[in-house]
């Protein structure tokens, strides 16, 4: 039986069809009027039953939508299970990188999955502990010399939770003030160089567990000293531990043939079973040890006021890393699948995840590339995949957590290396090198992390990115324009053979926006080109790259106008945007803001000059 809306729809379509046929019959005077009349007769006899068609279409569409929704739910289920199999071993591994008990990584993982699934915007992003945030937060807290956090594990944990809390609060504040675009100030070559060096650092630090030797305190903990000790003390390598690591690595490599199989999780389960059956500890193979179940206890970190201030200073690096790494993963997946994301929203959600994780005694979280890309590759269609991963991990913690203490440490080291394998691929760096662009940024970021450590290396890498942006903006290129033939198109004079200058006019275009760091250089360049040119009477300056002007740029333009007037030349502005036009009219109404001193296009400015003086 048809519903009222279906009857109404059928009636509406029938009436519209009659109108169209009537229009055709009336307006077409050619020989096909008889055919159109037949068409009208058919419609009158057949279309009244259109509601039956409507019912059929609606039923078919409903079945198709139901089938599509069922397929999507199945894909999210499979993807969620794959992600859960990846996140569990990563949480155990990254807790070691952060120098925290595993329970704090599990807590952060559960919080990140739940909150991002509820409030996030990306259907692929998986918010959980990452190797970079774990390593950076540990380095930041250990840099608090003179505090109890360096020697007292309890104080260390409180300082790290405070760091995560402050960083999360900063992320929320940046999102609330709509500062999502700030991530663009960390250049991609810098992030790639940092990620590559960080992966090398973490992999080298897994050598003691993978090879089964103890690193003495006097050997140093930086990657270079760890590598030198490992190479120079081959006799200290533990053969049973090495054998376990080799078998685990071979198993992971073999399982990678099936991308939807959580290789690390499968290997960890098999390693736990093998450790129970063969009693690997009797052979000297160390195990992870007991792991507590997350308690989700709510509380503020206990720190003194002066320590909060120092933590606040160090949180800046973590803020940049969390958002730059997470936004890079989210944005690349969104572009690949045609999705749209709001950077400010993602900032706030990431910040909220870290605030909640810190208050529940968890480590920092972010949308890491390995988990997020694995989620997309497994076929996820919505954030329900994250919900499935949350439920699967919760079930695993209830059922299988007690057995986790049997996990051999060499297998855990292999799991860490496996999670970072994609970051060890030098191809992105090689591609940048072949472009002959940003080589200094890439090499500088890699060397900074390897030479100065993760925290200082990250800050140096950020500084390199900002300095490079300032260098580019503060050294603007100013091109002289000429008319292309007899068209109204004005192009770079040196780059087009058919372009010619206009007698008496000097047309210039800065290729960068005018602001405090570039305005004086542009003004000096203009004066240098004018000097000695007695044939000039007008300078036309195109401001198409400047959407607005700061006070320094405005003052420089006014000073340039006065200097040109002093040598008998007039400054005219073109391609002036609305904010600039309003500013000039308010601050320099008798000069550059006056009528006839600015124009919408270069051609208009040229045509407004006296013809006799032009030619």
Q: What is the pLDDT of residues 408-452, one digit of tens each?
A: 989 988 888 887 787 788 888 888 888 888 888 888 888 888 888
- pLDDT per residue as tens digits for the range 457-495: 878 887 888 888 777 777 778 999 988 877 778 888 888
Q: Which secondary structure element, helix H or strand E, spans residue 366, and what is its range?
A: strand 366-367
* pLDDT, position 387: 94
**Alpha-carbon gap, residue 473 to 516, rounded angstroms:** 10
In the three-class reduction of DSSP (H, G, I as helix; E, B as strand; rest coil), residue 291 is classed as coil
What is d(CA 397, CA 394) in angstroms, rounded to the nearest whole number? 5
Calculate the CA 348 to chain-centre distance: 14
Q: What is the DSSP letter of 128?
A: E
Give me the count of residues in the chain: 615
Q: DSSP of 474-505, one letter per residue? A: HS--EEEEEEETTSS-EEEGGG-TTEEPPTTE
**Can you tell me which residue has the tokens 């500084």?**
463
Report the candidate in 370, 373, 368, 367 with the shortest Cα–Cα distance to residue 351.
367
Q: What is the pLDDT of residue 21?
A: 46
Contact partners, residue 604, CB within 8 Å, separation at least 6? 574
The whole-model pTM stands at: 0.69
C-alpha distance across the termini of the chain, in Å: 83
Q: How far apart are CA 460 and CA 451, in angstroms?
A: 11
Provide the CATH topology of domain 476-614: Transcription Regulator spoIIAA (3.30.750)
CA distances from 529 to 20, 122, 536 (A): 68, 51, 11
Q: Centre a 10 Å sphere on the Cβ of residue 295 and count the other Cβ atoms it contains.
A: 10
User: Are 559 and 574 in contact, with CB atoms under 8 Å apart?
Assistant: no
CA–CA separation, 79 vs 107, rounded Å? 21
Task: Judge residue 101's burial from the number of C-beta atoms within 10 Å of its C-beta, 0-12 exposed, 13-18 middle, 19 or more buried.
Answer: middle
Check residue 325 and give its pLDDT. 84
Query: Pairing relation of β-strands 570-574 and 598-599?
Result: parallel
pLDDT along the chain (615 residues), means of 10: 50 52 46 48 49 51 58 83 83 88 94 95 93 90 70 87 96 90 73 83 88 80 83 91 94 85 84 90 86 86 87 89 86 83 92 96 90 84 92 88 85 84 83 84 87 80 80 80 83 83 90 88 92 88 92 93 92 92 90 88 85 44
- Sketch the domain layout of the chain as residue ranges: 4-67, 68-471, 476-614
Q: What is the predicted pLDDT for the residue at 68?
A: 60
- Three-class DSSP labels, 222-280: CHHHHHHHHHHCHHHCCHHHHHHHHHHHHHHHHHCCCCCCCHHHHHHHHHHHHHHHHCH
CA 151, 154, 156: angle at the middle one, nearest 5? 55
């Amino acid at each position: 039986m048809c519903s009222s809306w279906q009857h109404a729809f059928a009636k509406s379509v029938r009436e519209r069809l009659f109108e169209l046929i009537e229009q055709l019959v009336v307006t077409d005077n050619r020989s096909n009027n008889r055919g159109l009349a037949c068409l009208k007769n058919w419609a009158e006899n057949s279309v009244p039953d259109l509601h039956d068609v409507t019912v059929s279409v609606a039923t078919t569409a409903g079945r198709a939508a139901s089938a599509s929704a069922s397929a999507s739910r199945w894909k999210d289920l499979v993807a969620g299970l794959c992600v859960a199999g990846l996140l569990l071993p990563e949480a155990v591994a990254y807790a070691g990188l952060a120098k925290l008990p595993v329970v704090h990584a599990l807590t952060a993982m559960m919080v990140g999955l739940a909150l991002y699934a509820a409030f996030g915007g990306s259907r692929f992003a998986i918010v959980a502990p990452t190797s970079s945030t774990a390593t950076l937060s540990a380095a930041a807290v250990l840099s608090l010399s003179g505090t109890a956090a360096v020697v007292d594990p309890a104080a260390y944990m409180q300082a790290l939770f405070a760091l995560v809390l402050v960083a999360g609060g900063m992320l929320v504040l940046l999102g609330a003030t709509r500062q999502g675009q700030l991530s663009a100030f960390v250049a991609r070559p810098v992030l790639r160089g940092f990620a590559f060096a960080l992966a090398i650092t973490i992999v080298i630090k897994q050598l003691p567990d993978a090879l089964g030797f103890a690193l003495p305190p006097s050997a140093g903990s930086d990657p270079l000293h760890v590598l030198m000790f490992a190479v120079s003390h081959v006799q200290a390598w533990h053969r049973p531990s090495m054998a376990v690591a080799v078998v685990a690595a071979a198993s992971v490599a073999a399982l990678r043939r099936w991308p939807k199989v959580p290789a690390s999780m499968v290997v960890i389960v098999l390693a736990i079973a093998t450790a129970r059956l063969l009693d690997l500890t009797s052979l000297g193979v160390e195990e992870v040890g007991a792991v507590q179940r997350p308690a989700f206890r709510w509380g503020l970190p206990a720190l003194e006021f002066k320590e909060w201030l120092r933590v606040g200073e160090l949180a800046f690096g973590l803020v940049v890393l969390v958002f730059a790494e997470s936004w890079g993963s989210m944005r690349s997946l969104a572009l690949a699948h045609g999705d749209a994301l709001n950077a400010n929203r993602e900032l706030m959600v990431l910040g909220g995840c870290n605030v909640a994780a810190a208050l529940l005694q968890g480590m920092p979280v972010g949308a890491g590339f390995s988990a997020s890309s694995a989620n997309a590759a497994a076929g996820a269609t919505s954030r329900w995949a994250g919900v499935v991963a949350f439920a699967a991990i919760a079930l695993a913690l209830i059922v299988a957590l007690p057995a986790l203490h049997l996990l051999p440490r060499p297998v855990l080291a292999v799991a860490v290396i496996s999670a970072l394998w994609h970051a060890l691929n030098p191809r992105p760096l090689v591609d940048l090198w072949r472009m002959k662009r940003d080589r200094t940024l890439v090499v500088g970021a890699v060397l900074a992390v390897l030479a100065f450590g993760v925290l200082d290396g990250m800050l140096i890498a950020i500084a390199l990115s900002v300095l490079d942006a300032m260098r580019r903006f503060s050294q603007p290129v100013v091109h002289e324009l000429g008319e292309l033939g007899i068209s109204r198109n004005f192009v770079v004079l040196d780059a087009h053979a058919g372009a010619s200058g206009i007698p008496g006019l000097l047309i210039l275009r800065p290729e960068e926006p005018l602001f405090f760091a570039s305005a004086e250089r542009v003004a000096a360049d203009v004066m240098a080109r004018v000097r000695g040119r007695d044939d000039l009477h007008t300078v036309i300056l195109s401001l198409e790259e400047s959407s607005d002007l700061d006070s320094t740029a405005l003052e420089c333009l006014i000073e340039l106008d006065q200097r040109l007037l002093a040598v008998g030349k007039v400054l005219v502005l073109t391609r002036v945007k609305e904010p600039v036009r309003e500013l000039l009219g308010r601050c320099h109404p008798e000069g550059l803001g006056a009528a006839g001193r600015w124009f919408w296009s270069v051609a208009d400015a040229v045509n407004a000059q006296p013809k006799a003086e032009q030619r």
